[in-house]
Every structure is written in C-alpha cells, then in structure tokens.
Amino acid sequence: MKTNFDFLKDVNKELFNTIVDAQKLFCDEYFTQSTIQVRIFAEKMAKQILGAQSEGLTFDDTLNCLKDKIKEVREKEFIDDLFFIKREGNKCAHGENIKSTVALEVFERAFEASINYAYSKTKDEKINKLQFDRTLLITGKPQKQMRLVDKYIERAKSAIDEVEQTKEITPKKEQSNKEQSNHEQPKKEKGGRKVKPQNPTKEKVKQKVKEAKTKLRNEINKKPKKPTKKELKAQQEKKKSFIRLIIFLIFVTISLIFITKMLVFY
C-alpha cells in the first residue's frame, strides 16, 4: 500500500512500519487508536534523535531535552509538532474520543516531523519538496486517482439505499376519478417507450446524498489554519508590549507609594 511516509523506508524501517500501522487504523476509521499509534511513532522518533541520553526518560522529558537544544526555526517547528502529537495521543490513551479532522491533523504533523527527521539524516533536498496527500492517507490512492470524499460518499449512498430497500411504503389509495388514475399511469413518449413517474422517495434520497456529500466534503477538507511566522511574531510582540506595560504600571504604583510615604513623613 502506498503511503505519505514511503520516504522513511530507506531512512528508518522501524519508524516506517509504525506509522503504516497507524494509517491502517485511520483508514478503518479507528481514529482514537490511530492517534495513539502516531504518538508511539513520535516518541520513537524523538528518542532516536536524542540518542543514548533518552534511555529511561519519558516522552515528555525527551521532548524537553530536545527543546533545550533548539537552534533553528525548523527545529522549533519539529518539537512543536511532536508536542501536539503527544498531547492528542495522551487524550486518546485516557479514553477521550477524537474528531476525524483532529486525527487528520495528527497525521499531517507526523508527516512534517518525518520530513525534518529524514532530512536531518540524509540532507536530501527532494524530501523537502514532498507534500502531504490527504486522499492517499484515507484511500491508499493518490489524489489524482481518487477524490478525498469518494470513500465516504459511497458509504453514505449504500446506507441510504439500504434504508430505502427495507422501508415499508404505504400503498397509495386508489384514485376515484379517471384524471387522477391517468396521472398515476406511466406516460408514453414518441415511439411507445414508457416513462415511469418520478418517485418522491428517490428524490428525497438524492437530496440527502447531495447534502451528505457537501457536509462530508466540508468536514474532511477542513484544516485548522496554522499561524504564519509573521502572525506568530506579531503575537510575540503584542505579548512583550503587554508585559512592558504591566512592569511600567507596577513601577509607577511603587513610586507613588514611596512618594506618598515621604510626604507624610516630612
């Protein structure tokens, strides 16, 4: 089965096998179990990077040790991705359910972390050009071969068809006048071909399929937007400005108290 992580085969076979197991769980819609498996993958990766120092350390301790060694923006992004995977994996391990969209982001973060890991080992620029394919994750086929929502739409159609087949339809009452009776009969086109009247139940089913398709497309393709470097920098500057303001206010308050005491004393 083709995966987003095939480039890991030649870099680290153990990591590759771990993330493939996680993808199989995701494809079978076991989102909680797949997230836990991705957490195991991330922990193995972090400990391999830290090396012998990671022996006996927890995942959290390992990440904190790596965090202390950050020198570049890319390393920071790598640690942030692993912390995100650890957090969501811990939630699932403690019995919390996870949304499919969050589980999808866990895999995307694992992909980005894998790119950084593989590049640090190989220095192969081709790895940096790889892009995460959501369709490939869900279906095992590249996006060019199959659309992302096809799998879920087919399942929705099957479910609706099953309901339609098993649903009991109350027989229509006989029409009392000839005009209504003629309306019930199949119409004839040129050439004598009979055309069945439209079934209102099928029309409702088609409408439900259309609504399910739209809802699934919006739900699956929705991706939480990461803040850009510029936005992160602006947030940091805003935070620093707020801290400076607090410090200034504290200084002014202390100065007023001191001046008041001096005036009272003299």
- Note the pLDDT of residue 17: 95
Mean pLDDT per 10-residue segment, the chain (266 residues): 89 95 92 96 94 90 92 91 96 93 95 94 92 85 56 61 57 50 49 50 68 68 62 80 87 85 71
Please report the pLDDT score of residue 190 as a whole number: 44
The pTM score is: 0.54
pLDDT value at residue 138: 81
- Which pair of tokens denotes residue 68? 């202390």
pLDDT at 62: 94
3-state secondary structure of 12: coil
What pLDDT sits at residue 236? 82
The answer to whether residues 104 and 137 touch, using CB atoms and an 8 Å cutoff, is yes
pLDDT given for residue 59 in this prediction? 93
Asked if 222 contacts 101 with a C-beta cutoff of 8 angstroms, the reply is yes
d(CA 249, CA 120): 47
Measured CA to CA, the distance from residue 126 to residue 119 in angstroms comes to: 9
Is residue 81 within 8 A of residue 113, CB to CB? The reply is yes
- Quick one: pLDDT at residue 135? 87
Tell me the angle at which helices 100-122 and 13-27 cross, rounded to the nearest 10 degrees. 160
Per-residue pLDDT, 264: 73
Q: How far apart are alpha carbons 124 and 145 in whole angstroms? A: 27
pLDDT of residue 232: 76
Write down the pLDDT at residue 261: 76
pLDDT of residue 191: 46
State which fold the 6-139 domain adopts: Four Helix Bundle (Hemerythrin (Met), subunit A) (1.20.120)
